[in-house]
Chains A and B, each alone.
Chain A
């Protein structure tokens, strides 16, 4: 009989090993899935995980994409991880991302056609404020009325999508766009563009912001009393209460930070890689970032690595679409599977597996 025995403290070795084992298991299960879809599994896995980086036909295009896609994922996931650690579940980052993009783009377009170099910083601040304000809705409802922040933050994603549709077709629509939906192009206009900083690397200001966020989160969690309070509130809510942790402040802070970072990520995206506000510029980074946060074990450095890996699955997925005709949704299922394996393997960090013969009378 297999029995689980709770470990006094989680196993450090397994905490680090589980993401790696989960990735390997996902590759195997994903291979089976691709085989069922009538593809050669080994080739499919190679095209997704190896070719974007090392095949000379694709690498020159694909490598810069790695940072372009990892940037927003890391930026959002860092914010989410703070809340997740404290047991505060912001799952509406997608909505905060959209609202941030709309606010930031709106700020930039308000000064059109000025090319003042201060416009981009202003857009970044407007984007962060937009995302922050959107996240404050679930935060305030939670702290004032005890409303479940999971449901509110998620439902607000659909509200944000309705606003986005309206922004693209009416209030931010390009007046010179001959009636087509979509705003003016921000990335082709000096002043509002979020350019590639080092040619051929994909590095833009959003990626820089993501790296800075990683460093700040690391310092916050390891060197600052606030980081200590976040960890305490998640692991031992009662102890946190006695230690004087103010739960209201923590909720406002965690949701606020994650909203601001998601909003910023949205702005960097519309001013850079996406180029403009359009009905469907958002591609679900806000949801994938949840997987990134867990895959990175809610640890800043882990999230950095997990963000790069997840970006690779996006790029590899596109390549597999092109080369094998694999449907785009296969990658989404693949990413979901990864999260399953990770959560399943977590049991090994927290529990010891004991194999015992059934005892008489037990």
Chain B
């Protein structure tokens, strides 16, 4: 394991995790409201190209991030309309969103491959980042990374300690009871879906503007699906989603470094390791019968139709 510096590995890990963390925290809120949106991958990649196009044309990565979030939210609006007003099957509609998003994004990105996006600046001055060990880990990032951690804290606080969070959870646990109490189930769920779409889109934009940074077709490569798995891993708890995303990012960052270091492990095994680890973690979490059954929102994936 020589040649792999733990500090740069941790810095890379945080960067690799952020797109997935953003998408996962958005999906967590969606699922807390009782809706299963399997279109995360599609929303991410549309966010990736929307952000990329705007950033390249305006020269501002910040406008790009905003555009990515808006792009993801607009795509999620299709899902919201179909599942909430037209009562379509959520699994099928989410899949359609992913298939459509992949096609739409490559259509939008026709002329954008091979271009470099404008650079996203680091937040803190060089002096702070030069502090040994703690400097790069604590201060060596751009704004979006700090934002993603703050977002996790905000989602945790809102879900746990505010009236809004209580209502959202009530809708996700029993839409009929929430409806009987007079809450607008459909409206609340649509807001949640839009939030999820914006987060996924922002995550996608982070991927194309900072992580890679360039545009290639299908560049999300399953990140959206891993985000979905992380929500299950997290048992629908925000801080555990952070742990899950960083765990995954650690493996992704480590395997890339191992490939570069030409250590004697087959490339095939390294390439598949993030997906395999995700599956193994999913199995461990779901085999714990009581925990898995206790924490999933009770109305997850069920169609709500107010009768009367």
- A residues bordering B, Cβ < 8 Å? 4, 6, 37, 89, 91, 141, 144-148, 150-152, 154-159, 162-163, 165-166, 287, 290-291, 294, 327-337, 339-340, 343-344, 346-347, 350-351
Contact = CB atoms under 8 A, between A and B. Distances in A.
A323 to B, nearest CB: 17
A41 to B, nearest CB: 15
A4 B87 contact: yes
Contacts of A334: 103
B221 A158 contact: yes
B279 interface: yes
10 contacts: A4-B87, A151-B228, A151-B278, A151-B279, A154-B222, A156-B279, A166-B267, A332-B107, A344-B82, A346-B86
B280 to A, nearest CB: 10
Contact of B103 (A6, A145, A333): A333
Tell me if B's interface is mostly helix, strand, loop or mixed. Answer: helix
B289 A148 contact: no
Given A152-B282, A336-B103, A347 B88 contact: yes
Contact of B266 (A91, A158, A166, A331): A166
Contact of A336 (B38, B96, B278, B305): B96
Contacts, number: 135
Interface in B45-90: 78, 82, 86-89
Query: Which of B104, B268, B271: most chain A CB closer than 10 A?
Result: B268
B229 interface: yes
B262 interface: no
Contact of B100 (A290, A294, A333): A333
Given A151-B225, A337-B100, A91 B272 contact: no
B287 interface: yes
Nearest to A91: B95
A343 B226 contact: no
A34 to B, nearest CB: 11
Nearest to B99: A336
Among all A-B residue pairs, the 4 with the closest Cβ atoms = A336-B100, A332-B103, A333-B103, A329-B106
Contacts of B239: none
Interface string B95-130: 111011111111100100000000000000000000
A1 to B, nearest CB: 13
A146 B293 CA distance: 10
Given A166-B268, A329-B107, A146 B292 contact: yes
Contacts of A154: 222, 225
A330 B108 CA distance: 9
A151 B82 contact: no
Given A141-B279, A152-B279, A333-B104, 7 more contacts: A144-B287, A145-B287, A155-B222, A335-B99, A339-B99, A340-B100, A343-B88
Contacts of A344: 82, 86, 88
Contact of A151 (B86, B282, B289, B292): B282
A343 B93 contact: yes
A101 B174 CA distance: 46
Contact of A147 (B96, B102, B225, B282): B282
